[in-house]
Structure 1
Amino acid sequence: MINLFDTAKRILNPFFAKRHLLGDDNLFSINNILSKTAALAFIRAIDKGIKEKIEKLKDIDWTKDNTLPNFPKSFLDEYGLEDKPILLKKNIIEKNKLNHPDITEEEARRIIGNALYKPETILKANPNKPAYHNFISRTDDKHSDIVLLELSDEKENYEVINYHIINNPARDRKVNIHKKS
């Protein structure tokens, strides 16, 4: 489980770093400004927005192209991404059903919601395809949800390429690919 105070610090650190306000000895440091209570309130507000985005995934129509909710502004700012819709195409849905027939529609919603809107880590997926990124969110001690997403500057949308569940050895291989690129 991710500590809420640490999450708030991770999100706000870029803001404070740009203003040279990091360090516990600074009166305006993130540690001095964010009390645990303030951090919890801040994270609850972010979490509410994320929950709303995940809730909208119930509207996915598995028989056609779908536009998923955009990333939260805080996420876009943190990673320097443009605000664009996320597209889940019908051909990707069909391909995923063929390659991962054990994944139900409900599980697919969970995988997409966890990995895209609550990623634990984001890794470059393929050195030959620099726009491809793995969004990964651990679900338990042995498994993670993963979405392969194309974050192309040339396209009008970010596009889901694949989504499924991976075990820890597969996750470790993806981390190693990322480190090599």
Structure 2
Amino acid sequence: MRPILNCRLTRFNLLAPFILGLLLTNIVCAEKADQDKPLILEAEKVSANDVKQFYDLNGQVLLIKGSMIVTGEDGHIAVDPEGYEFVDVIGNPNEVASFRQRREGLADEFMQGRGAQVTYDSKTEFLTITGDATLKRLLNMQMLDQLKGWKIEYDDVKQYYRVIPPNDAKPEDLPLARAILSPRRKATLEK
């Protein structure tokens, strides 16, 4: 009985530095300074309800808030009482919707995505891209991670990617998702 326990402890001891390294890596989220920046809206037509903090944009939509840039054909933006935006932008057959935002931490790290529809909740830092979706994590304009699929969800707080196939997907449609993921930096411990 004792040798099995020692074997399990040895496996745990081998995994402990790896688990600790994952826990100690820098957690990088969306640029926090973006929250204090003005919301710039451009479109062919903008309807604004400042009382309800709801904005409709039609035709060549451009939304800028700090390092966040969202483009598309039509969009809806709702701002909650705390000042967080919920953005929903769709593209058209000729032009997809796109999202780009600098991440907190490293100077030139960005998340960049494209698809038929882009939805972003700045409070939860949750991004959803639907319809022939792509999402890239870039550092100094070099791709680190890339995802492709019908629908991509990205939780920037938890740093969690999820690629979802369409509801009517068939086995012969495979592959329905593709990911290229770069190795994470090793954590260093200082005494």
- Same fold, TM-score > 0.5, yes or no: no
Larger Rg: 2
Question: So what's the TM-score if we normalise by structure 2?
Answer: 0.27
Higher helix share: 1
Higher strand share: 2
